[in-house]
Amino acid sequence: MATQPAVGGGRVVEVPPERLARWLRNFAARHGGTPDTTPVPAGLDLLAADGARAQARLPFGGSPSTWAELTALASEPRRTGLLLARRGGFAAGIAHGPSLLTSKVGRRYVQGRTAAGGWSQQRFARRRANQARRSADAAADAAAQLLVPESATLDALVLGGDRQVVKAILADRRLAPLSAKVAGWFLDMPEPRYSVLRDAAEFARMVRIRVSEPVQD
């Protein structure tokens, strides 16, 4: 379970589906008993007796009206496409729930930046751009082979890594069938490897809860 500061205040907690019911019970116990609940798109807003708030959002949507429905929807196994990329590396896969079913991981060398100037700098920049393009093409090849044939079966395509690198990969016309499946969140993942892809399958199913503590007088 991961926690990070939320934009605008409070914190965001990422809770695995199997721990969600316990988290909700603990939230209620800490803040004065069963909170009021308000259904919202893809989740629930909870307002506790002491003024604490928890805004729970399901990763794959749904319309829960109670804690039990929220937990049940979060626990449904989903078939998820994964595409992670950073400069020179990519990983693509399909997961069912937390289990990674298929995967393809690759690397292509892309030079780092240099402080050189003049013609040398221009040649370096062209060479680096060509290397980056070949890396993006290799990642698009993997996505076209692994993900596109399964696009109709996917509940979502979850992206992660470097946004600009991933954007360049998805610009490939062969990946157009995946555009409607792209999830509304982006995973901040390290250099793509098999172990990182496996972690991404877990993170993709987390319920994201924004918690705001009560204002103290």
> Are β-strands 53-57 and 43-47 bridged in parallel, bridged antiparallel, or unpaired?
antiparallel
pLDDT for the residue numbered 136: 83
Neighbouring C-beta atoms of residue 30, cutoff 10 Å: 11
Q: Residue 70: CB partners within 8 Å, gap ≥ 6?
A: 20, 24, 43, 44, 56, 58, 64, 207
Q: How confident is the model at residue 109 (pLDDT cuts 50, 70, 90)?
A: very low
Amino acid, single-letter form, for residue 83: L
pLDDT of residue 112: 55
pLDDT band at 91 (very low <50, low <70, confident <90, very high): very high
- For the cut 50, the answer to whether the pLDDT of residue 119 exceeds it is no
Q: What is the pLDDT of residues 16-67, one digit of tens each?
A: 999 999 999 999 999 988 899 999 999 999 999 999 999 999 999 999 999 9
CA distances, 175 to each of 143, 147, 152, 157 (Å): 7, 9, 13, 11
pTM score: 0.84
What is the structure's pLDDT at 9? 76
Enumerate domains of the chain plus CATH numbers. Answer: 2-76+205-212 (no CATH), 79-201 (3.30.420.60)
- Give the per-residue pLDDT at 124: 53
Confidence of residue 178 (pLDDT cuts 50, 70, 90): very high
Residue 163 has pLDDT above 70, yes or no: yes
Q: Are the C-beta atoms of residues 31 and 50 closer than 8 Å to each other?
A: yes
Is residue 174 over pLDDT 80?
Answer: yes
Say what the alpha-carbon torsion angle 125, 130, 134, 140 is, to the nearest 10 degrees.
80
Structure tokens, 57: 């959002």
